[in-house]
Amino acid sequence: MKKFYYTSTALIISGLFLFSCQSKPENSPAKTKGELIADPITYEVIVKNPNPDDEWLNECLENTNSSYLIEQVLKEVQVGNLKAYDYYDNHELSISEIEQIITENDLNGRTGKIQFEENWYWDKNQLQLKKEVKKLMFGFEIFDTTGKLRGYKASFVVDLQK
């Protein structure tokens, strides 16, 4: 009888231990399904039309709320919820460095491009291309003395996975 008691107790304790150590699935990020086909791919997207007469770009950006994305990401970077890194040497920027870059370059108003770094997955069962954004970088507009757009300058890299 004692042997049965010890065995039962050991099984119950083992079961409780095993179930208490399992991670909760709702806290784990969903793993992107599919075959990895780009690890990573980096590309730029124009998010602010520099030429109002460009009807094609106007149409492409018509349903895009990029200013909201820019505003939200900058807000989270400023409070430290997202990490930002120097575009040129990749050191982590302090909050004061971030504030200086945002203010001096008016990133909310002058961001014209966003560069994305993503992994791409092909799900052959669902016939879908799935993207996982890893990093993004805001490019702000640079103008010449006549007010003509010369190009874009890198601000900082925001790592969405840290």
pLDDT digits (tens, 9 = 90+) for 129-153: 999 999 999 999 999 999 899 999 9
Averaged pLDDT for residues 108-116: 96
The reported pTM is 0.77
DSSP assignment of 102-127 equals HHHHTHHHHEEEEEEEEEEEEETTTT
Q: Mean of the pLDDT values across residues 109-125?
A: 97
Kind of pairing between the strands at 35-46 and 83-86: unpaired
Question: What is the average pLDDT across 13-20?
Answer: 44
Is 17's pLDDT higher than 70?
no
Rounded to whole angstroms, how far apart are CA atoms 37 and 129? 9
Question: Please, which residues have CB within 8 angstroms of residue 102's CB and are 6 or more apart in sequence?
Answer: 74, 78, 108, 155
Q: Choose between 22 and 72: higher pLDDT.
A: 72
* H helix runs in the chain, sequence order: 2-20, 55-61, 66-78, 95-105, 107-110
**Is a pLDDT exceeding 70 seen at residue 27?**
no
Residue 113 has pLDDT above 70, yes or no: yes
Contact 37, 46 (CB under 8 A): no
Task: Please give the average per-residue pLDDT across 78-89, as a whole number.
Answer: 96
What the block records as the tokens of 115 is: 């560069």
